[in-house]
Amino acid sequence: MIVIMISAPRRRALTALTAVGASAALVLTAAACSSDSGAGSGSAEGAVVTSFYPLQFATEQITGSALPVTSLTKPGAEPHDLELAPQDVAGLTKARLVIYADGFQPAVDDAMAQVDPSRVLDIADAASLTLPASQDGHDHSGESAAAHAEHSADDPHFWLDPQRYAAVAKAIGARLAKDDPAKAATYAANTDAFVAKLTALDGEFAKGLASCRSKVLVTSHAAFGYLAKRYGLEQHGISGISPDAEPSAAALQEISDLVRNEGVTTIFQETLVEPKFAQTVATSTGAKLGTLDPIEGITTESAGKDYFEVMRSNLGALQQGLGCS
Ligand SMILES: [Zn+2]
């Protein structure tokens, strides 16, 4: 039921097409060429179109097999700087429902102007995006004001906090039930089951991170603010909220000093972005590199086949890197 279109890898989609993925990609590209923009599928007539992986995954869990669900961001593409071709935007207007998070992907925000508002669900309110985008432990003096403003005012990474993700799932379930009353009971039951799994995951994180040698979480891109807040950690992002933002020399120095002063032993890089700056900090401080996945997409290189598996991999990496017992 899921339409996944894979076009040629772009700049940041380095991990998308491994040897394993390449043959599948060739077949799919031949079947349905999209623009080389990171866009996954814009021509989902009658489908529920979601803007990126966590919204796609939640929606699939809730619809079961009742409705086709697609994602605008193809697997392996970095979603922050998604670009949409005119045909992608035109496709959006044929969707049954478009589910997105306002303020996360500028191209999607722009496209919403052309979609009937009665067929759009913005989950930004349900996600209660209370952390400002700048709250990543270092200032943004190295960025231009325009580059910073582009990130939007709020940290969008709600799905890395299972409680926020559950609230979003409930909003999606309620909306699907409202639009399709005949299947309301199914959507409600599926939502409850999904929320129960998120609640269990939340419990595992709370328990697993309760007793750690260090609470200082140094990450390559500041995607883990809500997770850190939920479980009492202190996040310091090297690249800020968007992995595109290049840290200044002063910001790198500041992070390196923090790593030394706090005795941080692990710098966490992420899966979709080259570890250049994390590597710089690790090399200059003698810290090790660990991997945390912000789960903005699942690829063959992800440490699991879905959100839950990758979150549990993240928990293991955090426990090891922070010395949790
Ligand atoms: Zn991100």
How many domains does one find in the chain?
2
- Token look-up 């623009």 returns 35
- Measured from the Cβ of residue 261, the count of other Cβ atoms closer than 10 Å reads 9
**Distance from the CA of 241 to the center of ligand 1, in angstroms?**
6
What pLDDT does 38 receive?
A: 61
**Distance from the CA of 151 to the center of ligand 1, in angstroms?**
10
**Distance from the CA of 296 to the center of ligand 1, in angstroms?**
7
In this predicted model, which residue has the larger pLDDT, 58 or 78?
Answer: 58
Position 205 pLDDT exceeds 90: yes
Position 313 pLDDT exceeds 60: yes
**Distance from the CA of 248 to the center of ligand 1, in angstroms?**
19
Q: Are residues 68 and 100 in the same domain?
A: yes
In this predicted model, which residue has the larger pLDDT, 29 or 271?
Answer: 271
Q: Are residues 195 and 66 in the same domain?
A: yes
**Distance from the CA of 182 to the center of ligand 1, in angstroms?**
36
What pLDDT does 134 receive?
A: 57
Give per-residue pLDDT as tens, 186-202.
999 999 999 999 999 99
**Distance from the CA of 275 to the center of ligand 1, in angstroms?**
14
How do 120-122 and 288-291 pair as beta strands? unpaired
User: Could you give the CA distance from residue 56 to residue 74 in angstroms, rounded to a whole number?
Assistant: 11
What pLDDT does 139 receive?
A: 39
Give per-residue pLDDT as tens, 118-159.
999 999 999 999 898 754 433 333 433 444 444 456 889 999
**Distance from the CA of 8 to the center of ligand 1, in angstroms?**
22
Position 37 pLDDT exceeds 70: no
259 near 219, Cβ under 8 Å? no
In this predicted model, which residue has the larger pLDDT, 172 or 42?
Answer: 172
Give per-residue pLDDT as tens, 209-224.
999 999 999 998 889 9
Q: Are residues 168 and 68 in the same domain?
A: yes
Position 44 pLDDT exceeds 80: no
Which of 178, 199, 220 terminates a domain? The answer is 199
233 near 217, Cβ under 8 Å? yes
Position 113 pLDDT exceeds 90: yes
244-248 long-range Cβ contacts below 8 angstroms, 24+ apart: 244/80, 244/81, 244/147, 245/140, 245/143, 245/147, 245/148, 245/151, 246/142, 246/143, 246/277, 247/138, 247/142, 247/277, 248/141, 248/142, 248/143
Q: Are residues 215 and 195 in the same domain?
A: no
**Distance from the CA of 13 to the center of ligand 1, in angstroms?**
14
**Distance from the CA of 62 to the center of ligand 1, in angstroms?**
24
Q: Are residues 125 and 22 in the same domain?
A: yes
Q: Which of 227-231, 263-267, 297-301, 317-321 bottoms out in mean pLDDT, i.e. has the lowest?
A: 297-301
- Answer yes or no: is 144 within a domain: no
Q: Are residues 173 and 220 in the same domain?
A: no
User: Could you give the CA distance from residue 3 to residue 6 in angstroms, rounded to a whole number?
Assistant: 10
User: Could you give the CA distance from residue 96 to residue 65 in angstroms, rounded to a whole number?
Assistant: 15
What pLDDT does 16 receive?
A: 35
- Average pLDDT of the chain to the nearest whole number: 83
- The residue segments making up the domain with residue 112 are 2-129+161-199
H helices of the chain, in order, are: 19-31, 53-63, 86-92, 106-111, 145-149, 162-179, 184-208, 225-230, 249-262, 276-285, 307-322
Q: Are residues 116 and 249 in the same domain?
A: no
**Distance from the CA of 194 to the center of ligand 1, in angstroms?**
23
What pLDDT does 314 receive?
A: 97
304: domain CATH number?
3.40.50.1980
